[in-house]
Amino acid sequence: MNRASRGFVFFLIGAVAAAIGWFAWNGECRDGTVFATESGCREAAGFNAAFCREAFKQAHAKATMDYAPFRTQTECLEKFPACVPHGVITGGFVPTPRGTCVARIAGGISGIPVYQRLGANLSSR
């Protein structure tokens, strides 16, 4: 294999890896921006503290109370890297979001939890 061919192969591998990473991070947040922390949101242009606080509050409620729980933590951990007890249902477990999708919507603010799934467990849950 000559030098040009090797360069093309490395370029192709890099492009595929970048695409996979982009889709893995942005797939659940098409209309907004994913932030790992509320402080990261506040540092972004156009988002003030009150906006970010409300978005993260909404995401937390959706993650811990609205999400249909798994019966056991083990069951949850089979699909997600980290899980916490459900906010309302005793004995239920929900995945810990890896970030929050923050967006401006017609009605104001949207905060949606974004999850990291394990392996081929790409369910819509």
Give, for all 125 residues of the chain, the pLDDT tens digit: 777 666 655 555 655 554 455 555 546 788 899 999 999 999 987 789 999 999 999 999 888 887 778 999 999 999 999 998 888 888 889 999 999 999 988 888 999 999 888 765 444 43
Q: What is the pTM for the complete model shown?
A: 0.66
What token pair was written down for 17? 């890896």
Separation of alpha carbons 108 and 65, rounded Å: 21
In this prediction, residue 31 carries a pLDDT of 82
**In this structure, are residues 94 and 24 in contact, taking their beta carbons and an 8 Å threshold?**
no
In this prediction, residue 123 carries a pLDDT of 45
